[in-house]
Amino acid sequence: MNFIVCTLCALMCISSHVTGSGYEVMAQWKEMQYTNPDPDGFEPHNNILTGLKVMSADEIYVTVSRWLPGVPATLSKLNEGQLLDPYPSEGMNNYIGKNIGIQQSNHHHGQ
């Protein structure tokens, strides 16, 4: 199972776009890393990338489904330090125990 998850993340976490000479790696990481995760509740191994949308080199959105506990945000935007910021806000992503906010995102088309 770990092999499948690692392979899936490796394939999906490398966001690239076509340039004149081929592909350019825009971001990559072994585990999803967030700007301010809850130190007591964050479980990096449960954060599995399920979607990626590259609007431009400066605007990359990532979706992580909350199938397992310890996922701080369903929809995030990659910041300059290659950390994930909950998008549009932490409050909109914080729905645990409530039926409000972002619960699942399959596609994101930007602003």
Per-residue pLDDT tens for 4-35?
444 344 444 443 444 455 777 777 878 889 99
Asked whether residue 37 is assigned to any structural domain, the reply reads: yes
Is 111 part of a structural domain of the chain? no
Query: Is 106 part of a structural domain of the chain?
Result: no
**Mean pLDDT value of segment 59-79:** 90
Give domain status of residue 110, yes or no.
Answer: no
109, part of any domain: no
76, two tokens: 């995030």
Domains: count for the chain = 1
108 pLDDT band (50/70/90 cuts)? low
pTM higher than the cut 0.85: no
Residue 69 lies in a domain: yes
Judge contact between 96 and 74, C-beta under 8 A: no
Contacts of residue 54, Cβ cutoff 8 Å, sequence gap at least 6: 15, 17, 26, 60
Q: Report helix, strand or coil for 7.
A: helix
Give the Cα separation of 79 and 34 in Å (integer).
10
Whether 100 is covered by a domain: the verdict is no
Range of the domain at 82: 2-14+30-93
| 25 within some domain | no
More confident residue, 78 or 10: 78
